Amino acid sequence: MNILRTHAVLLATAGTALALSLTACQSGSDTGSAPATTSSAASSATGEAAGGEHAGASGAEGPTGAARPAESKRPARATGTGGTAGSAGEQASAATRVCAARDLTVTAAPQGGPPYTHLVLTAKNTSGHACRLAGAPHIQFLESHKQDVPVVAGSKPATPVVLTAGAPAYALVRLSDGGVDEENEPVSAFSVTLEGDSTVIAVSAPGKGGVAVDPAKALTGYWTPELRNGADDF
């Protein structure tokens, strides 16, 4: 009986030890697997984060990367020059150099219709290149009258007068009112100077006897690219 009891106790003790051993193994296995899983998840998250940063950097800076959304939606910049066509033309005209006396040939002719008291000055560009004819002609008819003929402000053109090679410009000049009681003086030649150039241009008056000028009534218009009617202006 004692032998059987002792054997039973030994079996019970062995079973307890085996149970404790199995429990310890299971506990150690669970404890070891948890960090591995956590480490794997952390590595995966780190890899994804690094991959995302690398992909973002490649898209922003890489020469062969995919198109960047911010740039693909950006509108194309206009490459044309600013300003209207009219303003560009005026700027180009203003940049053209001013005509000098050596660039032009100036002639005088009677106006071809009433009033017959007017002359037409023609300035032809003979320089071979474009130039800008500024202002109005500075005219002096008589040696005894050294003042320039007054200019009619209303005849000023709206845009600069640019003469291409061979092109003419015109200025209308009033000599007198045509009255018989005027103090007219005969003029066979007179002087013209240009705006910005003090060189004197000698111009022959038309006709065999020249023209009759009343210095108190004489007027001149601005240079214009077209011939104008003096009766409309002065």
pLDDT digits (tens, 9 = 90+) for 170-212: 999 999 988 766 788 999 999 999 999 999 999 999 988 899 9
Q: What is the pTM of this model?
A: 0.60
Is 169:133 a contact under the CB 8 Å cutoff? yes
Q: What is the CA radius of gyration of the chain?
A: 52
Is 96:130 a contact under the CB 8 Å cutoff? yes
Average pLDDT over residues 13-25: 45
CB-CB neighbours of 136 under 10 Å: 24
pLDDT digits (tens, 9 = 90+) for 110-122: 987 777 889 999 9
Q: 41 to each of 29, 34, 35, 38, 50, how far by Cα in Å?
A: 19, 11, 10, 5, 14
pLDDT digits (tens, 9 = 90+) for 119-135: 999 999 999 999 999 99
DSSP state of 167: -
pLDDT at 218 over 70: yes
Contacts with 133 (C-beta within 8 Å, 6 or more apart), sequence order = 98, 99, 104, 123, 161, 162, 163, 169, 194, 223
